[in-house]
Amino acid sequence: MNATRLYHNPRCSKSRGALELLRERGIEPEIVAYLDTPPSPAELRGLLKALGLPARALLRTGEDEYAALNLGDESLPESALIDAMSAHPRLIERPIFVHGGRAIVGRPPERVLALLD
Residue-range definition of the domain harbouring residue 67: 5-116
Look at the alpha carbons of 65, 89, 18, 107 in this order and tell me if their dihedral is positive or negative: positive
Average pLDDT over residues 70-94: 98
Active site residue ranges: 12
Q: What's the structural domain count of the chain? A: 1
Percent of the chain with pLDDT over 70: 98
2 pLDDT band (50/70/90 cuts)? low
Question: Could you give the C-alpha distances from 71 to 9, 22, 33, in angstroms and in order?
Answer: 22, 33, 24
Q: Is 11 helix (H, G, I), strand (E, B) or coil?
A: coil
pLDDT 10s digits, 15-66: 999 999 999 999 999 999 999 999 999 999 999 999 999 999 999 999 999 9
pLDDT at position 94 over 70: yes
CATH number at residue 108: 3.40.30.10
Helices (H) and strands (E) in the chain, counts: 4, 4
* Residues near 19 by beta carbon (within 8 Å), at least 6 away in sequence: 6, 8, 29, 31, 95
Residue 24 has what pLDDT?
A: 96
With 70 as the cut, is the pLDDT of residue 1 above it? no
For residue 46, give Cα distances in angstroms to 40, 43, 51, 60. 10, 5, 9, 19
Alpha helix (H) ranges present in 25-93? 41-51, 64-68, 78-87
